[in-house]
Amino acid sequence: MKRKIIHVDMDAFYAAVEQRDNPELQGKPVVIGGRAKSRGVVSTASYEARKFGIRSAMPLIEAYHRCPQAIFLPPNLVKYRWVSQQIMEIFSEFTPLVEAISLDEAFLDVTGTERLFGEAVVIAKRIKKRIKDELNLTCSIGIAPNKFLAKLASDLEKPDGLVVITEDDIQSKVWPLPVGKVWGVGYKTAQRLEEFNIKTIGDLAGTHVDLLARILGNWGLEAHKLANGIDNRPVLPEREAHSIGHEMTFDVDISDKEILTRILLELSQNVGFRLRRAGLKGRTIVLKLRFADFKTITRNHTRLEETNFDDVIFEESLNLFQSNYSGQESLRLIGVTVTGLVKENEVSKQFTLFSDNDDKFEELYKTLDQINIKYGKNTIIRASLLNDEK
């Protein structure tokens, strides 16, 4: 049986939630990330703002120069997590095989569900309608036989699109696309490939793997497989995952440590949320850095006790970052992952001498989450997560 994978990507998620909740923002360029001219970066931008070239991970000061009339707002991650949870609950009604890869996107394996819900296209249409009717938001969906092609499809007709790619469509729909559409190929890598006249995914698919290995290193073989529509990775529900992580690839390489620290904070918060949502904790925090020359390093630290708290993940990943990044080279990707996962109710108390305090801290964290969800913008977060904007 051929796999049927759906990739759902919410349209300009953070900005769309703010526009939904404040009618005065509708139809206007909205930038989520912080105050205009501050040292932060853009988390997301509404489609009205994107017309001015504003994109994720862009410094806010540059976004301001591109569109001074834009409305700049700080991210309300607590609210976005709450909406994300509602979205994921909709997905879970159609299949137990849901792999959330961030707050605003997920893979669904709907292979063999036709008898219950209809063909994959029917399921996709029902998901889009549920999200629109219940949450007043839109999403773009891709359907394909594997994760790479499904994610590629969801990006072809944004916003509010629905695109199907079959194995027979690879030559006509996939190969003409620019090589930058391949996972892991950013601006600098695309430039390097173009030096060898590799400009489209089709060019990449037809290039000998030995040459790709010289250009891209060990990743060359994987890139060649993806370009040929080969991707055998399964959709892994979080409850079965051995690790949970989140990473961000930048459109433009970044070397500013303060900007990178803020991105690291957001990644840590996303990972913490996904861990708690899955009822998991982990002991090992892994930091991934990919440099402008495509050199990639991973560093990790294993704690004495498991955690799923944002601030702990951030503190550990920040220590790794400060120890392994000098700021002399630009980065094109940064990622945070937690491994060594166990279910919350299986966490051993023998790892710490302060179990009572740990229990109180856990209860406090749950209480803070409940307060934040209830009051939205009046967000309460731990002091270690606070960053003063300049």
Task: From the candidates 18, 105, 247, 316, give the one annotated as an active-site residue.
Answer: 105
Domain containing residue 68: CATH number? 3.40.1170.60
One-letter amino acid of 288:
K
pLDDT in tens, 77-91: 889 989 998 999 999
CB of 266 within 8 A of CB of 102? Answer: no
pLDDT (mean) for 82-109: 93
Give yes or no: residues 299 and 222 share one domain: no
Strand partners, 301: 285
Highest mean pLDDT: which range of 41-50, 235-244, 340-349: 41-50
The continuous run of DSSP H or E covering 296 comes out as: strand 296-307
Give yes or no: residues 191 and 323 share one domain: no
Q: What is the pLDDT of residue 266?
A: 86
* Spatial distance between the Cα atoms of 265 and 127, rounded to a whole number of angstroms: 31
CB of 139 within 8 A of CB of 127? Answer: yes
Give yes or no: residues 372 and 313 share one domain: yes
Q: 105 an active-site residue?
A: yes
Give yes or no: residues 161 and 88 share one domain: yes
pLDDT at 388 over 70: no
Give yes or no: residues 89 and 52 share one domain: no
Give yes or no: residues 73 and 206 share one domain: no
pLDDT at 175 over 80: yes
- Structural domain includes residue 233: no
**What is the total count of domains within the chain?**
4
One-letter amino acid of 276:
R
Give yes or no: residues 244 and 307 share one domain: yes
pLDDT in tens, 180-228: 999 878 777 888 899 999 999 999 999 999 999 988 888 889 999 999 9
Give yes or no: residues 265 and 157 share one domain: no
- Structural domain includes residue 164: yes
* Calculated CA dihedral for residues 299, 303, 307, 310, nearest 10 degrees: -50
**Domain range for 274:** 238-385
Give yes or no: residues 98 and 37 share one domain: no
Q: How far is CA 366 from CA 115, 218, 301, 380, in A?
A: 39, 43, 25, 12
Helix (H, G, I), strand (E, B) or coil at 354: coil
